[in-house]
Structure 1
Amino acid sequence: MKDEFRYGTDRLTIGLAMALTQGKLRGTLSSKTRHKVDRSAAFVEDIVAQGDVVYGINTGFGPLCDTIISPEETANLQHNLLKSHAVGVGNPIPASIAKTMMIIKVQALAQGYSGIQLRTLERIMWMTAQDIIPVVPAQGSVGASGDLAPLAHLFLPLIGLGEVYYKGNIVPAEKALAAEVMPPLQLGPKEGLALINGTQFIAAHAVHALYRMHNALDAADVIGAMSLEGLMGSYKPFDARLHEIRPFPGNQLVAHRLWELLSKSEIANSHPDCGRVQDPYSLRCMPQVHGASRTAWRHLKELTEIEINAVTDNPIVLGPHDTISGGNFHGQPLAIALDYATVGAAELGNISDRRSYLIIEGRYGLPKLLIQDAGLNSGFMIPQYTTAALVSENKTLCFPASADSIPTSLGQEDHVSMGSISGRKLNQVIDNLEYILAIELLYAAQALDFRRPLKSSEVLEACHTLVRTEVPFADKDRIFAYDIKKLQQLLSSGRFVHEANQAAETYDYHLNKTVYEPFGIS
């Protein structure tokens, strides 16, 4: 990956957005982009000077769009806009998501259709580079006319208001700017509107969800393969010939991965004539279920990468006295896809819980509750209660926020997307999914130990070894919550999937080198 990203020129992807957020990539502006931004700001200044009536430049907002603002008050209008619209409530979103919001907003503004001043754009870039990240409440956006409330909080610090994360603490923005000898900005005409109009709250939640869900999808395949091994299941349902006659790309990718993980296993090849005709669906149908979730992920990825390279504020400044007041700020294109992906993520957890239940039933040669001395010990009975609770919670989170709309702005904004809720819910489902998968991983590793001296494939053995560096085999009861948390961290950090990929490369398994590479996140 290159070490520089040119805002407004280069195409932003999920991987690049996360690299910028993580500080692995530096954002810059080309001279061509600077010229476009300056030209757009000049168009706005000319509109003010000529007295043309253009929404948001010299008029009020929303239902006040017919109220004309004098040239002398256009700057005050923009400051008042940020202050009046900063009405978010609830806990702050993670600073990393707020930072991604800033990055996506810079990409939109740098395209030269928003009338933003170059110095304002550079100040946002400076704040992201210095990790001075605004505190943004999670609730308050209805996902149309832009994510108004969260974006207002995001950009209050430009004018010295609001709060920021600064050197490990939450401090008033004015204090952080003073410490850095950076005076607050005076916004020009339209700038406040350009800053708070847009879908960056929705899009940033989508970016982080896609990044996390991609990791969960890969982990689910590996953990599912480990569970199948512990249950002495068959890898025959993953034969490519079966999936060629129902060729959904997601299904084919999962089947390919499972075949690679299992076909070279001692365990899998030790029972060809065991008499079991078919495995339960949660084992046999992993390609179909995991694959459907991958399809939902890919759909959201395609739409999100359009959105994070789009201009979503209003009005759009196309040229001298050429503006369009439209609806590019409406979040519906992402809202529906986010709700779809939420179902996809929830289903990964649903089928994982079923595999966990199978493992503790005491079937296929495994001890009941995965422990030899059951009775005195409850063994692994209760962690599955947790997966059941989390799966049920995820089902309630699957109600599509995008199916709702409540009129706002005295009816001027009479249909809204609620996409901000869709984005937050998807990340909540992934939070729960990581714990569900962690519990299945806890069970699968324990089950594999009961299959010794037989071994699985090199990749699955490497993953089992990694688990055992964090969590030991259990021969009696202990506080399993500690184990669950360790494995959740192992999964959420990406270490587990990284170990699987490293082992696959070492032993020449081809988990990700298929014709279905578009599932990648670069």
Structure 2
Amino acid sequence: MSVVIDGETLTADQIVRVARPVTPHRYAEVTLADAARDRLVRTRAHIETRWMDDRAPLMYGFNTGVGQFKDRRISVADMAHYQRQLIKAHATGTGEPFEPDVVRAVMLLRANALAAGFSGPSVEVVDRLLAFLNEGLHPVIPSKGSVGASGDLAPLSYLAAALYGFGEAEIDYGGRRLSAPAAISAARLPAEFEPAAKDASALLNGSTVSLALGVLAAHDARRVVRAADIALAMSLEAMRGELAAFRVPVHRARPHPGQQQVAGNVLRLAGDSRRCSPAARQVVFPEENRASGQAPAPRVQDVYSIRCAPQVHGPARDALGYIDRVLEIESNAATDNPLIFETDEGYEVISGGNFHGQSPAQAMDLLAIALTDLGSISERRLARLLDPAMSLGLPRNLNAGPAGVNTGYANVQCSMSALVMENRTLSAPGSIDSIPGKGNAEDHVSNSAWCARKARTVVDNVEQIVSAEMLMAAQALALVEPLAREHPLGRGTRAAVEVIRDAIPPALDGDRWFHTEMATVLDLSRSGAIIDAVEGAVGPLE
């Protein structure tokens, strides 16, 4: 299904469909809406007929220099040369290149921002962006160097250089890293493409790289929070916990939407479980001390990492609601400077600050904080699975082979704790940091690109932590299945375990190459296979 951009209605789902293959090696095609095209053409006609004159008033970045040279007029004769020089001057990025999905999201979002009609580029710029997307031309864009105002200037300059076929620019095409001219030629696109007045600054302005990273990270976070509820339910049943803490009256008494959604998900997953019943807790697990022959004391209530999970998972969902609203607005916003507005008398040019990335920066800081805590509580649950004193008698380290010769899953927990500690550092807010630049012309910046990059890393780390919890809970359930088979799991939990077990047999003979199992369960989570199976069994998770 193709995606039509108009500068006003682009959604996160559409961005993901364009950024990532809908089928292997095939992306959604993108076209420009007719109304948006007409708007661009009409605005551009006014620019060409009224303002391509050395007597026209000074308009920042259009017929003036930038930064400290904002009052230096650029003559019409120098306009094309100036556009090229502007791109070269900002190509100062460092670091590893962005992944293709980020680059594609950047191109789509920049095209959509221009399609809104407030930037005044030639329509050919938008067409060129869409041609790159549809032909699979992915400019090589260094990941570091933006401060998030005036937008993501450094990384976007590499995009602009690739569009115009600069010899210094590179493009990933068909898995090969080529010079921009070679890649454009291989894709059979026109090599000749000259920048016109305002085109370069229209491409460079705006925190579009920050936004692209943010949209993809928030989309992935939505998957992670649902997976976290599944992992929670699996651990709850592995440790034969109490379901009472998830009942409706508890959460109606403190009616945060996310908290209620999580509690509802757990009841949907495990509400029909017999593993959490008093009868199941009478079963003696391998390392449970029942020497007295007496029945175990009532559980009454579980530890915080289980009982308080809705109160911790829930705020992450509530945060995502706010983050999604910010990103939706940003995805259909004009973030250039100056902006061009149609009036009764013609057009008006206004210099402003819509390029400043503080809104996405703060949203990304919130995403990092919310997901960091989600990973932290998940790691505490998977750690409990290892200790018989805290798991109601599960085998130590979830080990099935001879102890000593085999260590079990202890170091899986250790690695996940390393990710938790990394996330705690990454969730320190970056949006409160600012270093003036360009001779104090930019005396306050947003740091949005760094905020988005670290949020994306946190989301990736948390998905690994949650996947490890599912892996270890599945192992725990397998180890006690012969003892507890009279007490079946809930339908949702059982569906998740079956997907994992189809790909990863339980470790019943001792240690294995756990790296492979961790990677496999992560793939099952990222592909949506576990969530799909669960929702097929119990209906959609909230």
TM bracket, shorter-chain basis: over 0.9
Write the mapping of 1:23-422 to structure 2, written as runs, cut at 5 A.
24=22, 25-45=28-48, 46-49=50-53, 50-161=55-166, 162-179=169-186, 180-271=188-279, 275-319=298-342, 320-362=346-388, 363-372=391-400, 373-422=402-451
Alignment-derived partner of residue 464 in structure 1 = 497
CA distance in 2 between counterparts of 1:286 and 1:440 reads 14
Which is worse superposed, 452-461 or 198-207?
A: 452-461
Gaps of 5+ in 2: 23-27, 282-296
Spell out, residue by residue over 1:167-211, the C-alpha distance to the aligned partner (whole angstroms, 9 max, x if none). Answer: 111111100112214213111111100000011101100111011
Post-superposition offset of 1:10: 5.3
**Residues 160 and 174, structure 1, Cα contact 8 Å, conserved in 2:** yes
Alignment-derived partner of residue 289 in structure 2 = none
Post-superposition offset of 1:430: 1.5
Matched position secondary structure for 2:60: coil
Which is worse superposed, 83-92 or 21-30?
A: 21-30
Q: 1:444 to 1:66 in 2, by over 3 A?
A: same
Matched position secondary structure for 1:305: helix
CA distance in 2 between counterparts of 1:421 and 1:441 reads 30
**Residues 23 and 129, structure 1, Cα contact 8 Å, conserved in 2:** no
Tell whether 2:522 aligns with 1:499.
no
* TM-score, normalising length: structure 1: 0.94
AA aligned to 2:369 is: V
Post-superposition offset of 1:12: 1.3
Alignment-derived partner of residue 12 in structure 1 = 10
Matched position secondary structure for 1:478: coil
Post-superposition offset of 1:26: 3.0
Post-superposition offset of 1:277: 1.4
Matched position secondary structure for 1:83: helix
Post-superposition offset of 1:503: 2.3
CA distance in 1 between counterparts of 2:537 and 2:208 reads 37
Matched position secondary structure for 1:403: coil
Post-superposition offset of 1:71: 1.0
Matched position secondary structure for 2:459: helix
Alignment-derived partner of residue 455 in structure 2 = 426
Which is worse superposed, 432-441 or 388-397?
A: 432-441
Spell out, residue by residue over 1:26-53, the C-alpha distance to the aligned partner (whole angstroms, 9 max, x if none). Answer: 3222322111001222233222225221
Q: 1:15 to 1:47 in 2, by over 3 A?
A: same
Alignment root-mean-square deviation, CA: 1.5
**Residues 339 and 401, structure 1, Cα contact 8 Å, conserved in 2:** yes
AA aligned to 1:193 is: S
Post-superposition offset of 1:149: 0.6
Gaps of 5+ in 1: 513-522
Q: 1:181 to 1:313 in 2, by over 3 A?
A: closer
Which structure would you say has the larger Rg?
A: 2
CA distance in 1 between counterparts of 2:243 and 2:189 reads 63
Spell out, residue by residue over 1:473-510, the C-alpha distance to the aligned partner (whole angstroms, 9 max, x if none). Answer: 112112211111111121122222222222224xxxx5
**Residues 356 and 443, structure 1, Cα contact 8 Å, conserved in 2:** yes
Which is worse superposed, 177-186 or 478-487?
A: 177-186
Post-superposition offset of 1:5: 2.9
Q: 1:242 to 1:327 in 2, by over 3 A?
A: same
Tell whether 2:529 aligns with 1:488.
no
Post-superposition offset of 1:239: 0.8
AA aligned to 2:414 is: Y
Post-superposition offset of 1:465: 1.1
CA distance in 2 between counterparts of 1:54 and 1:71 reads 13
How many aligned positions are there?
A: 506
**Residues 40 and 114, structure 1, Cα contact 8 Å, conserved in 2:** no
CA distance in 2 between counterparts of 1:9 and 1:152 reads 21
Which is worse superposed, 262-271 or 405-414?
A: 262-271
Moved over 4 A (4+): none
Spell out, residue by residue over 1:385-423, the C-alpha distance to the aligned partner (whole angstroms, 9 max, x if none). Answer: 101111011101111111100001110100000010000
Spell out, residue by residue over 1:267-313, the C-alpha distance to the aligned partner (whole angstroms, 9 max, x if none). Answer: 12354886001101110111110001111111111100000010001
**Residues 268 and 492, structure 2, Cα contact 8 Å, conserved in 1:** no
Q: Percent identity?
A: 36
CA distance in 1 between counterparts of 2:171 and 2:278 reads 59
Post-superposition offset of 1:159: 1.1
Q: 1:424 to 1:463 in 2, by over 3 A?
A: same
CA distance in 1 between counterparts of 2:46 and 2:467 reads 55
AA aligned to 1:382 is: N
AA aligned to 2:339 is: I
AA aligned to 1:110 is: A
Post-superposition offset of 1:375: 2.7
Alignment-derived partner of residue 286 in structure 2 = none
Q: 1:21 to 1:484 in 2, by over 3 A?
A: same
CA distance in 1 between counterparts of 2:427 and 2:541 reads 30
CA distance in 2 between counterparts of 1:271 and 1:433 reads 34
AA aligned to 1:252 is: Q
AA aligned to 1:15 is: D
AA aligned to 2:321 is: R
Q: 1:333 to 1:181 in 2, by over 3 A?
A: closer
